[in-house]
Amino acid sequence: MANWAWRLSHPHAIATAFPAISSDHSPILLDVAPAAHSGKTFKYEAIWDEHRDCPAVVKEGWENIYSTRDPWGQFTDRADNCKKYLSQWHKTTFLNAIREIPKIKARLCSLQNADSNSVNWEEIRDIRGEISQLWKQEELFWGQRSRLKWIRWGGKNTRFFHATTIQRRGRKRLVRLKNSQGDWVEVKECLLKKRITREATCPTCHKEQETMERTFLLCDWVKPVWFGSQVHWVPDPTLISRFDQWLWERIQLFKRAPNNLSYLLSLLAYYLWHIWKQRNNMVFRNEPPQPLTVIHLATNQHFEFITSTRDSGNLRASSNRGQNTNLAPSGPRVGGCWKPPPQGLLKCNVDASWSSPSSQSSFVVLVRDANGSLLTGLAGKINASSPLVAEALGLRQAMNLAINMGWERVIFESDCLVLIDACRSGVSKAEIIPILRDILSMKAFFVHCGFTWVRRQGNEAAHQVAHAHRLRSLPLN
């Protein structure tokens, strides 16, 4: 237990409990050493709003700069210049209240203790007004940092604001993290952006400082991703100075092909997203980044996105023409009808029917080509503890069928959203983890292996066959 006075004296103190070894008491180590700071971030101070010169300073900082960069670069340059002007103005215009208040109080005390005949009452009045203004600045300063919106400005709450700020910073300060193996990992090695450590080495290659440019473009494992992608880029370190500038140049390049603009922009977004996910898996799960994994995931999910948005556009167009349709409302993931795969690919629709009392389930696999022709099918009985387990077992059987048939380019489709999301992300509920591992390991047998989710209407054929098979009412033909 500690009172407010002690917390104000030791704002960065940390208490750590150690395991009990030779006694039934756990020792507690109290570290009162101040935390290291790596610099301050810019914050817009609430006290600036009270000064009449603030708008003029912002305008001067925004206009008093010349930049020949692209529009986004000009915006960032102007914003940085505004921060610089405001910081300099703050130093010259506003006094440090904590340092100046005692000095002004001492001046006021000496004036009040002087001979009454020589007292300058006008100066005393001015000093009192100056102290009130400094008190207001200090109160606004700590009130802004305490983030207590239920206390109004006014009243001398500075001490309360200061103590609350220290308590909040203690709660939000990250000291260490726990990885997927349950081991504690010191944050100082990987969270430079949180201003906890000065270490900034790239966590994947350990060669240079980790920056936006290196993370997404220049790291050794990222270059094969861009080269193996559909755009076949080779990032050149000599031509890349800032990531935002590089991104702006790519967008301008895409605009030269307006018919493919949305296709190329979404493709770029998927590649950047999966590069970032692989980087985080390396940092927090110690999983080495795999360029081929990024290429496959980004390509497959981009294909699903383009297919779903195209179908949604067709559905809206038919509705606008007044045509009647039995399709379900299209969502952001896929439409509600079955769609043939692209040329050169096969589609395996999978579904399972589960019975609660007996745990007896049936699975069905229907395989069709790009023309919509049914090539073959598979149905069977399985024991499953839940509908999700039944769906996962059915998908595994479908992948076994494709491997045995020698098919290398297959899309596996199901109406179980939880299962499809697990196949895409590799993270699932505990009950299907062993089955999911088998499914993900089978992907190595395919040149192209995709997982798509479809509404029940789009998987109706497999659903009806699975239900009939479980009830033993499936015709032999």
**pLDDT, tens only, 324-373:** 333 233 333 444 578 889 888 999 999 998 876 666 789 999 999 999 99
Would you call 381 helix, strand, or coil by DSSP?
Answer: strand
Query: So what's the pLDDT on residue 67?
Result: 75
Query: So what's the pLDDT on residue 162?
Result: 58
Q: Count H helices and E strands in the chain, helices first.
A: 15, 9
Query: So what's the pLDDT on residue 347?
Result: 94
Listed in sequence order, the residues at least 6 apart from 285 whose beta carbon sits closer than 8 Å to its beta carbon are 179, 180
Helix (H) or strand (E) holding 16: strand 14-17
Q: Is-contact 396 435, C-beta < 8 A?
A: yes
Q: Is-contact 396 331, C-beta < 8 A?
A: no
DSSP letter at 178?
E
Give the residue among 186, 416, 376, 360 at the shortest CA–CA distance from 284.
186
The dihedrals phi and psi of 354, each to the nearest 5 degrees, come to -120, 140
Helix (H) or strand (E) holding 13: none
Q: Is-contact 35 55, C-beta < 8 A?
A: no
The tens digit of pLDDT for each residue in 180-215 reads: 556 555 433 345 544 445 556 777 777 777 788 888
For residue 402, count other CB atoms closer than 10 A to its CB: 22
Report CA dihedral (300, 302, 303, 305) to the nearest 10 degrees.
Answer: 130
For CA atoms 445, 450, 454, 460, the dihedral sign is: negative
Give the residue among 443, 453, 429, 343 at the shortest CA–CA distance from 396.
443
For the chain, list residues with pLDDT below 70.
Answer: 1, 4-5, 7-9, 11-12, 18-24, 33-40, 94-99, 101, 114-119, 139-200, 310-336, 356-359, 474-477
Helix (H) or strand (E) holding 400: helix 387-405
Would you call 128 helix, strand, or coil by DSSP?
Answer: helix
The CA distance from 456 to 391, in Å, is 13
Helix (H) or strand (E) holding 451: strand 448-453
Query: So what's the pLDDT on residue 346?
Result: 93
Q: Is-contact 462 351, C-beta < 8 A?
A: yes
Helix (H) or strand (E) holding 11: none
For residue 449, count other CB atoms closer than 10 A to its CB: 22
